[in-house]
């Protein structure tokens, strides 16, 4: 399974950048969706 994924990502480098961008976007939006303001402290 991992080797197939590695081969796919090696053949499609744009997918790597798309996944990275999606990960960054989700890390910024997730606290807002969860109802927090993005800060863990006071």
pLDDT digits (tens, 9 = 90+) for 1-42: 789 999 998 999 999 999 999 999 999 888 788 776 555 555
Q: Cβ–Cβ contacts within 10 Å for residue 31, how many?
A: 13
Nearest-angstrom CA–CA distance, 19 and 36: 24
pLDDT for the residue 38: 52
pLDDT for the residue 35: 79
Q: Directed axis angle between helix 2-11 and helix 13-33, to 10°?
A: 110
Q: Measure CA 29 to chain center.
A: 11
Q: Measure CA 17 to chain center.
A: 10
pTM across the whole model:
0.58
């Amino acid at each position: 399974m991992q080797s197939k994924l590695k081969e796919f990502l090696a053949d499609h480098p744009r997918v790597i950048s798309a996944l990275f961008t999606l990960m960054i976007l989700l890390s910024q939006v997730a606290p807002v969706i969860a109802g927090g303001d993005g800060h863990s402290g006071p």
